[in-house]
Copies of this chain bind each other. A is one copy, B any other.
């Protein structure tokens, strides 16, 4: 099992129900998100010199159910050894390949304000295959400066610069009022994946994928749980660890 086909796409084993096709192996979105987390832990384990890791250990480290983890890993292929566990390095490599991280993605950052500066200076991106290769702003005090050696260009040049540098992912960190216009420019430039930090809902063509990071929403969700907890605390009903039910109780 260890020396499985390597080049081949290892078209998932056995009586795969998938109508096969060379690739079509669709991976659940939820799994993709977790794979990225496994990847980070595997990287740490590799640095520590770990050779193999069991699903149980990896699950504990990433905070997921071990069965779920094994199922997730089964989507990238069978890289485990029964009775032993998973080989850290090969698995890490294979997840990278599955997520498409073997090919670097050039990232463009639009809006180099408070948040933009933090993002631009963050080493966690380039180190993981996402070099910020282009930056844009409209503020004349910002356009022209360099951050990590990259020049901040004027937004009017988005199209040309992105095309020239092969940008595939755009990060929008402008004020909300400018986000849609910036987004449109990115789309015109051919960018098909956008990470949006502005608190607006972007309208894009079907072919473009948008993910949104909305900190205010995150806080509101937490606030909701604080409030719920408070009320629950007053009636003495025990929080109980019952079902891993995703729902939530609320006063009315």
This chain: copies in complex: 2
Interface string of A79-96 (1 = CB under 8 A from B): 000000000000000000
Q: With A36-B216, A216-B36, A235-B21 given, is the CB distance from A16 to B252 under 8 Å?
A: no
Of the listed residues A8, A9, A12, A24, the one surrounded by the most CB atoms of chain B closer than 10 A to its CB is: A24
Interface string of A109-146 (1 = CB under 8 A from B): 00000110111011011001110000000000000000
A23 interface contact, C-beta 8 A: yes
**Known contacts A119-B215, A130-B219; can you find 5 more A-B pairs with CB under 8 A?**
A15-B239, A100-B228, A100-B230, A169-B226, A210-B245
Interface size class of A (residues with CB under 8 A): 35 or more
B-facing residues in A28-68 (Cβ within 8 Å) = 28-30, 32-34, 36-37, 39-41, 61-64, 68
A213 contact from B25, B218, B231, Cβ within 8 A: B218
Q: Is the CB of B217 within 8 A of A36?
A: yes
